[in-house]
């Protein structure tokens, strides 16, 4: 789950991937409610907007929490950068709410079951499950999944949680809907990885099933306002974004008052590139929204994609 806070409401990039979720890519607000987040930098100046994103794509090591199902490990296992900040994740993303109703509506439309890639701590999965829809959640971070399992238990719902990678989710079932919220796909670094992830999502879908995900492309103002600066996104939670506009990458570092610093790598591409990759990967694009209120995309920074599996 990626979550760099900067645009839609508050984040900057996240990636589950989104969410999952998510480094914190900027979380943008709808055009009607956009405005700077009321936070301050260390020198007391007003803080810029934030980004959000979803979960990472590395495969974690052994020792998974109770009730989690491991996927097939095809690479040497690595610890997820989200493991070290799992306890910070919910406070870090507390202001991100604008996408929950959108994904819940998509889940209701599908009838379920739903696979959520980059499920994270269950910010979206738990409300869907509470609506009576079965959710299979995949994430690379055991720490995040452990918190997700606890959140589900407190809410009195069941989630089928699995440790896995965006490019090879450990799910044999075929479903009518796959979601990858919170800019999780920004954790994919190359077109090859993006094609692998899109092909994997397609393989999870029944005929005419849909893939729904959100990503973003940063604006010059966001880059200028946040580049290489430690900003306090939430009380006691700091993040620093280092942008490379040539490589189109973001290196996001996060730390809390009592947690070690962790760093995540994100990468973005333009909407037309996503459109081309979806077509190459066997999808027909139904909608490309510019925000979670289903307003059409008109060239802004956020894109929310609804793509149907081609026959």
Give the domains, in start order, of the chain with CATH numbers.
Answer: 8-57+89-110+172-309 (3.40.50)
The overall average pLDDT reported for the chain is 81
Q: Tell which wins on pLDDT, 165 or 42.
A: 165
Instruction: Answer yes or no: are the C-beta atoms of 88 and 254 closer than 8 Å.
Output: yes
**Rounded to whole angstroms, how far apart are CA atoms 106 and 55?**
20
- Of the candidate ranges 74-78, 123-127, 233-237, the one whose mean pLDDT is the lowest: 74-78
pLDDT band at 60 (very low <50, low <70, confident <90, very high): very low
CA distances from 66 to 20, 70, 231, 251 (A): 20, 11, 36, 32
| pLDDT of 27 above 60 | no
**Rounded to whole angstroms, how far apart are CA atoms 137 and 131?**
16
**Rounded to whole angstroms, how far apart are CA atoms 4 and 180?**
16
Give the Cβ contact number of residue 264 at 10 Å.
30
pLDDT, average across residues 83-110: 92
| pLDDT of 149 above 50 | yes
CA distances from 254 to 23, 50, 51, 152, 190 (A): 8, 13, 13, 26, 23
| pLDDT of 305 above 90 | yes
3-class SS string, 107-125: HHHHCCCEEEECCCCCCCH
pLDDT, average across residues 239-244: 97
Q: Are strands 160-163 and 175-180 parallel, antiparallel or unpaired?
A: unpaired
State the pTM of this model: 0.80
Q: Tell which wins on pLDDT, 52 or 99.
A: 99
At 227, list the tokens: 């580049």
């Amino acid at each position: 789950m990626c979550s760099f806070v900067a645009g839609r409401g508050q984040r900057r990039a996240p990636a589950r991937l989104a969410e999952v979720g998510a480094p914190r890519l900027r979380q943008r607000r709808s055009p009607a409610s956009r405005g700077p987040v009321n936070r301050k930098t260390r020198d007391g100046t007003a803080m810029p907007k934030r980004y959000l994103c979803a979960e990472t794509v590395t495969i974690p090591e052994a020792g998974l929490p109770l009730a989690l199902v491991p996927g097939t490990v095809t690479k040497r296992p690595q610890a997820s950068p989200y493991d070290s900040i799992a306890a910070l994740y919910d406070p870090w993303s507390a202001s991100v709410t604008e996408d929950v109703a959108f994904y819940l509506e998509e889940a209701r439309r599908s009838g379920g079951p739903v696979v959520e890639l980059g499920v994270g701590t269950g910010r979206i999965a738990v409300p869907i499950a509470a609506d009576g829809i079965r959710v299979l959640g995949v994430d690379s971070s055991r720490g995040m999944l452990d918190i997700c399992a606890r959140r589900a238990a407190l809410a009195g719902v069941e989630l089928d949680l699995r440790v896995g990678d965006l490019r090879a989710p450990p799910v044999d079932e075929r479903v009518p809907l796959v979601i990858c919220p919170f800019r999780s796909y920004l954790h994919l670094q190359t077109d090859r990885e993006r094609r692998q992830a899109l092909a994997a999502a397609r393989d999870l879908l029944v005929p005419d099933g849909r893939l729904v995900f959100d990503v973003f492309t940063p604006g010059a103002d966001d880059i200028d306002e946040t580049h290489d600066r430690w900003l306090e996104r939430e009380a006691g939670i700091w993040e620093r974004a280092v942008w490379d506009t040539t490589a189109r990458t973001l290196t996001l570092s996060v730390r809390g008052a009592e947690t070690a610093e962790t760093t995540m790598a994100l990468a973005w591409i333009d909407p037309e590139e996503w459109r081309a990759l979806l077509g190459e990967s066997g999808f027909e694009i139904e909608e490309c929204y510019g925000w979670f209120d289903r307003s059409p995309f008109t060239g802004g920074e956020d894109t929310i994609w609804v793509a149907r599996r081609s026959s």
